[in-house]
Structure 1
Amino acid sequence: MRRFRRGWRRSLQWRTVAITVAAASAAIALVGVYMSVSVGNDLFQSRLNQVLVDSNRATSAAQGILDSSDAVDRVQVQTLLESARTSISAASSSRLVALFRVPGQESSTVAPQDSSTFGTSTAVIAPELRKAVQQDGDGQFWQSVTLFSDDGSSVPGIVVGSQITVPVAGRYELYIGYSLADAESTLLFVQRTLGGAGLALILLIGAVTWIVVRFVVTPIQVAAETSQKLASGDLGVRIPEKGEDVIATLARSFNGMADSLQSQIKELADLSEVQQRFVSDVSHELRTPLTTIRLAGDLLYDQRTTFPPATERTAELLHTQVERFELLLSDLLEISRYDAGSVELESEPTNLVHLAEDVIDGMRSLGESKGSEISLIAPGGHLAAEMDPRRVRRIVNNLIGNAIEHGEGKPIIVSVDSNESAVALSVRDYGMGMTQAEILHVFDRFWRADPSRKRTIGGTGLGLAISLEDATAHRGWLQVWSSPGAGSSFRLTLPRRKSGSLKVSPNPLPPADAAAPGFVSPHAEPRRDHHA
């Protein structure tokens, strides 16, 4: 049954043939039933007309024999009645004859007893038929019945009733039974013929439909397979163009669309490559003058105490902005490597708890200067996992730095846990939090939730974007939960093995202490946004 349902859902050819055969079967069945009923009614009516004519002729012949007789005693009347019965059987070609004296007449000593050759079928003569015959001496009445033979088998039949007058004895009810076995055999033959012809027609319709649909569906299947290959990145695949029909027109239109799409994608790829090369080249070219500016700035910064106050402040600003500029160039180079697809991980077994401790120790003084106490909770996750420690350290550093920046001087909790297939690190702050609209852009490059908010730590606006790229390179997840006024929680989940995959994270999201409803990043896996 599962295979049938799967084939029904996936195969247009199978569905078309099945529906066509089912509809044709219903139509043929209706036509067959109608024809069978019509033929049966025609056979019955024809046989009934013949039976009525035969019965009337036999009754008239028997009445003629009785009217011409001068019988006066019981023996003569009995003999006369036997002669009439023989005449009836000969004229009607039926051996089923019954004679019953009409009730309500005066008793007669010469009147013969009732007689019947129906045998066990006498009961088929219904009381309604007898009453109609008794009340109308000149009428002819009939009834459709089931006759039984001596061996107990049953056949359809007709009983015709009328009255005859026997000299001296009075009026008698005459019933003649006619078998419809021949008509029934004819009807069964017609029904078998219709059934066989209908079954052959259904098979023929199914075969023709299969062939026709195959001619139609095969090009559609080729188009579907070609579109799948095109969607998977094989831009050179095309549909074969044959003939001048609708399918050929579809193939030409599809191929034209594929050519246009391939051309546009190539143009975009070339443009993206040029943009990436431009960013990389500019970043590299800026390093030389930046190094010179950095050396000069450092010299001025070291001698700032000898300058007037205004010049001293200028030297400090120059030093700070040169550092930020240098960091920005490093981040731009890193982003350009990701965009160019040239990043290779240098994985090695690393304990995520120890790595988090090192980052926390390095940022503890910064957190304390902002009033935020950083604590580490690690119930599990002490086993080593395959990762690039430099890139993971950068992720953790960015997450904790963000928490310090937006934590409003409140505690920051770093949680590390693990299961058999993954390790996870969460950074929870209790600061201002974010709305759902802000969460949608939190990993965008150069995006800030509040552009008017002053950066107290610094940064380039690329930290979270690079962190997302680092997580994706590890086949990991970087997700966020946040609620306005209740803080945020960023969760990094990495597979234990380099080639592993993730199904569930060891750390909960939303966090366990999330009392207020919040918003979770809509992507179950980290997205990768490419910007110029």
Structure 2
Amino acid sequence: MRSAVDRLRALWRHSLQFRTVAVTLALSTLAILIIGLSLLYSVSQNLTQSGIAQARATSEAARANAQAILEASDATDRAAVQSAFSAAVDAVIATAGTSDVALRRVPGESSSFSLPLDRESPVVSEAITPELREAVQQNPGESFSQSVSLAGVDGPEPGVIVASDLVVSGSTRYELYIGYSLAEAQETLSFMQLVGGFGAIALILILGAITLVVVRFVIDPIRTAADTSRRLAAGELDVRLPERGEDELSTLARSFNDMAESLQDRIGELAHLSTMQQRFVSDVSHELRTPLTTIRLAGDVLHGKVDEFDPTTARTVELLHTQTERFELLLADLLEISRYDAGSVELASEPTNLVHLAGDAIESMRTLAAEHGSEIELRAPGGHLDAEVDPRRVRRIVRNLLGNAIEHGEGRPILVSVDSTSEAVALSVRDHGIGMTPEDAARVFDRFWRADPSRTRRIGGSGLGLAISMEDAVAHGGLLDVWSSPGEGSVFRLTIPRRAGLEEVRPPLLLGPDDEGEPIRLPRGGAA
């Protein structure tokens, strides 16, 4: 039962056609129910009132005939009165068309001779209420009706009793009760209810079929547009919607196709410009390598004789040597970025121990860290299992993160942590420096971006280190994320899944003080 409800909920959420048909049927059923009940109530009331009115009219005629017989009789003895009384009763039965008649002498009435006895019909006697008797007794010459349930052959059936009075022997009053069955009216009403019920069901089914057909005319083009939009978003820029007719859907199809055409042209232009830009960066980088190599050789020669120069010249030679190294690093980073942009990067993965790799990177950066007053500590509670990674690229990530921590760590300790689980390995670099605002942290992986443009880099670097590190992480199917707070420092965490195709993993390391170890969603693509 629960699975069926869940399937209905899923169908309600995902199917516009199902929702439209369901809502239409629900509202149609409600409208038919309201109208049907109103009609049935009106017909029932009309049938009942008509039956009661007919019963009262017949009763009035029966009473008048009976009273006329009694008044025409000049009987003075008991036998004659009995005979006139019987004739009056027969007239009532004949005129009313029913034998369900009861006559009761009004209590307290008397005469000089014995009056006829009460005449009782069991069907009517059982249905007479004290209230009806009181109304007849207190209102001579008037008639009253009351809806009752009369005993029938097949059980109780609806009916009505019409009550009035007769005057016998000039002064003695009798209560007259005539019962009429309304079974025929009830049968008519039941038949109408049955016909109305079947008619309502048939009407609902017809409405459902009509709604389904109409909705399909509208939903099918919408479904086609949704499928085409998905394909367009997936990169199939040549897909188009079929254009038929001149209605609103055709106008939508033409507008969509015009948009897709414009989008395809624009994306083509951007792709061409991107290709030209990548080629330009690559060509410039390659072309600059030759003169840079020459400058580097000349600079090395001068740097080897720096002790022979005067202080001003020696300082110039030092600057030339430092900037040449930075220029070489910038060219290398530009070439690497151009490879990522061109999609030509291939990983050389091999089983690698991230703890050993992090230790090697720390040793290579320890002197630089000491020059800036920072101590680097390595903690590895786990993470000793090998992972299939490209060691050169992961080592570059660690070096870039360490360089960033040294640059912004304000000479405070730096903590490198490595840990692993069955589904992922992680490495984090924690500094206690100036930190960043959330807005700055959101842009920290942008190319050539700096949180404080007025702040010059004390450590060489091209401004592409973190951008390349993010590309390296994504190439492994992993993620590089950051936590930072002004005055509290920053944490950069590298998470790499152990298996390809994982879309969500729980990182082995916490990112920041507010991290509760929730799973993170990995970017699509990459190779673990």
TM-score (norm 2): 0.93
**Equivalent residue runs for 1:337-486 within 5 Å:** 337-486=339-488
Instruction: Flag the 1:69–1:107 CA change in 2: closer, same or farther, 3 A.
Output: closer
Aligned mate of 2:337, from 299, 314, 335: 335
SS at the partner of 2:453? Answer: coil
Shift of the alpha carbon at 1:140? Answer: 2.1
Contact kept, 8 Å, 1:116 with 1:122, in 2: the verdict is yes
Shift of the alpha carbon at 1:325? Answer: 0.6
Aligned mate of 1:230, from 232, 239, 259: 232
Shift of the alpha carbon at 1:525? Answer: 5.0
Instruction: Say if 2:145 is the partner of 1:142.
Output: yes
Letter in 1 for 2:399: N
Instruction: Say if 2:94 is the partner of 1:93.
Output: no
SS at the partner of 2:463? Answer: coil
Structure 1 unaligned spans of 5+: none
Shift of the alpha carbon at 1:72? Answer: 3.6
**Equivalent residue runs for 1:248-263 within 5 Å:** 248-263=250-265
Take 2:27 and 2:454, find their aligned partners in 1: how far apart are those partners?
Answer: 70
Contact kept, 8 Å, 2:124 with 2:179, in 1: the verdict is no
Take 2:139 and 2:411, find their aligned partners in 1: how far apart are those partners?
Answer: 118
Contact kept, 8 Å, 2:124 with 2:177, in 1: the verdict is no
Take 1:150 and 1:230, find their aligned partners in 2: how far apart are those partners?
Answer: 77
Instruction: Flag the 1:108–1:351 CA change in 2: closer, same or farther, 3 A.
Output: farther
Residue-pair matches, total: 518
Shift of the alpha carbon at 1:502? Answer: 4.3
Letter in 1 for 2:61: R
- Deviations along 1:70-126, one digit per CA (max 9) or x if unpaired, are 444444433432232222111110111111111222365511221211x15413222
Structure 2 unaligned spans of 5+: none
Match of 2:48 in 1: 44
Instruction: Say if 2:283 is the partner of 1:285.
Output: no
Instruction: Flag the 1:345–1:181 CA change in 2: closer, same or farther, 3 A.
Output: same
Shift of the alpha carbon at 1:270? Answer: 0.3
Take 1:18 and 1:83, find their aligned partners in 2: how far apart are those partners?
Answer: 68
Instruction: Flag the 1:33–1:265 CA change in 2: closer, same or farther, 3 A.
Output: same
- Deviations along 1:444-497, one digit per CA (max 9) or x if unpaired, are 111222333343321111111111110111111111112222221111111123
Take 1:132 and 1:23, find their aligned partners in 2: how far apart are those partners?
Answer: 49
SS at the partner of 1:405? Answer: helix
Contact kept, 8 Å, 2:71 with 2:170, in 1: the verdict is no
Aligned mate of 1:31, from 35, 40, 50: 35
Match of 1:298 in 2: 300
Contact kept, 8 Å, 1:111 with 1:168, in 2: the verdict is no
Q: Percent identity?
A: 59
Match of 2:136 in 1: 133
Contact kept, 8 Å, 1:300 with 1:315, in 2: the verdict is yes
Letter in 2 for 1:179: S
SS at the partner of 1:342? Answer: coil
Aligned mate of 2:125, from 104, 122, 126: 122
**Equivalent residue runs for 1:11-26 within 5 Å:** 11-26=15-30
Shift of the alpha carbon at 1:279? Answer: 0.2
- Deviations along 1:8-58, one digit per CA (max 9) or x if unpaired, are 122222111121122221222222122212222222232223222221221
Instruction: Say if 2:180 is the partner of 1:178.
Output: yes
Contact kept, 8 Å, 1:230 with 1:237, in 2: the verdict is yes
Take 1:502 and 1:14, find their aligned partners in 2: how far apart are those partners?
Answer: 33
Take 2:104 and 2:190, find their aligned partners in 1: how far apart are those partners?
Answer: 36
- Deviations along 1:173-209, one digit per CA (max 9) or x if unpaired, are 1111111111111122222222222221111111111
Letter in 1 for 2:432: Y
- Deviations along 1:295-324, one digit per CA (max 9) or x if unpaired, are 111111112222333222222211111111
SS at the partner of 2:505? Answer: coil
